[in-house]
């Protein structure tokens, strides 16, 4: 069962301009330490930030809120599995919202995909509700 879908585009050049203008103030307001380390270790720093920006916007849309109602940029964080696959983790108000929209007997799974083709970065987020199995509920 699909609980929410979100997509967003980010202009890489606009993100670069914001990084140039606001630097750490922007980075620290929007991105977690892990996201910052990932971006700063990449060749395309602005592209990496732009993809994560788009993912956060897409996630907030999939949660049905957009960036309002108390959600914080850092309540949504993109990391990568060892295989490189992006993973979205939520905390704070975003986690509360996710829990509230997940029906009893289900677990929420957030799927995220990122892509870029200069000057655009794009993200898609799909929130799926999977039925819990007896194994999941065993204490």
- 90-122: pLDDT as tens digits: 999 999 999 999 999 999 999 999 999 999 999
pLDDT band at 136 (very low <50, low <70, confident <90, very high): low
- Which tokens in the block code for residue 55? 């993912």
Q: What is the pLDDT of residue 55?
A: 97
DSSP state of 74: G
* pLDDT, average across residues 31-35: 97
- 3-state SS assignment for residue 107: strand
Report pTM.
Answer: 0.91
Q: Domain residues for 124? A: 2-137
CA distances in angstroms from 4 to 17, 112, 128, 129, listed in the order given: 31, 12, 7, 9
pLDDT band at 135 (very low <50, low <70, confident <90, very high): low
Here the CATH number for the domain that contains residue 75 is: 3.90.470.20
Number of domains in the chain: 1
């Amino acid at each position: 069962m699909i609980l929410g879908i979100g997509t967003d585009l980010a202009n890489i050049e606009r993100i670069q301009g914001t990084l140039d203008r606001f630097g750490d103030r922007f980075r620290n307001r929007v991105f977690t330490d892990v996201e910052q380390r990932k971006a700063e270790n990449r060749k395309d720093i602005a592209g990496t930030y732009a993809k994560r920006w788009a993912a956060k916007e897409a996630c907030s849309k999939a949660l049905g809120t957009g960036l309002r109602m108390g959600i914080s940029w850092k309540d949504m964080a993109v990391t990568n599995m060892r295989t490189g696959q992006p993973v979205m983790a939520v905390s704070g108000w975003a986690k509360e919202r996710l829990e509230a929209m997940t029906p009893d007997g289900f677990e929420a799974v957030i799927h995220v995909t990122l892509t870029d083709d200069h000057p655009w970065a794009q993200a898609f987020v799909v929130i799926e509700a999977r039925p819990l199995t007896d194994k999941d509920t065993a204490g």
